Amino acid sequence: MADDMITKPTIETVLERMAASDERFAQRFDQLEKRTDERFDQFEKRFDQFVMRNDERFDQFVMRNDERFEQFEKRTDERFDRLEKEFDRLIMVTSFAKGDMAELRLGFRELRTQVKEALAIPRE
C-alpha cells in the first residue's frame, strides 16, 4: 500500500519540469554571461588604465632624457668652444715663439760673428 501512495508524474508534469529546468539553466547561463562580460569590462578598464599610466610614465621618461641630453649637449658644446679657443691661443703663441726663435738665432749668429771678430788673432 505504500506504493499506492506514491504517485507517478504525468508526461505533462515531466515536460513542465524539464521546461522549468531549461528556463533555470538559461537564466543561470545568462547571469554567468552577464558576470563574465562585466568582469571582462572591468579587466579592459584596468588594462586601459595600466596602458595610460605606462604611456604617461614613458612620456615623462622621454622628456627627462631629452632634457638631460640637451643639457649634456649644451655643456659639451661649451667645452668644445673653450677647447677651440685654447687651441687658437696655442697656435698664436706657437707662431710668436717661432718668430722669436728665428730672431734669437739671428741674434746669436750676429753675436758669434762679433765675438769671432773681437777674438780674432791678427796674423802677421
Tens of pLDDT, residues 88-104: 999 998 988 888 898 98
Nearest to 12 by CA among 4, 20, 24: 20
**Phi, psi at residue 7, to the nearest 5°?**
-100, 145
Asked, for residue 124, whether it belongs to a domain, the answer is: no
Domain count, the chain: 1
Q: Structure pTM?
A: 0.47
Residues 6+ away with beta carbon under 8 Å from 9: 17
Asked, for residue 67, whether it belongs to a domain, the answer is: yes
Domain containing 83 equals 19-119
Asked, for residue 1, whether it belongs to a domain, the answer is: no
Asked, for residue 3, whether it belongs to a domain, the answer is: no
Q: Is pLDDT of 1 > 50?
A: no
How far is it, in rounded angstroms, from Cα 25 to Cα 19?
A: 10
Ranking 39-43, 54-58, 84-88, 118-122 by mean pLDDT, the lowest is: 118-122
Q: Is pLDDT of 33 > 90?
A: yes
C-alpha distance from residue 118 to each of 106, 113, 122, 123, 124 (Å): 18, 9, 10, 14, 17
C-alpha cell at 47: 588594462
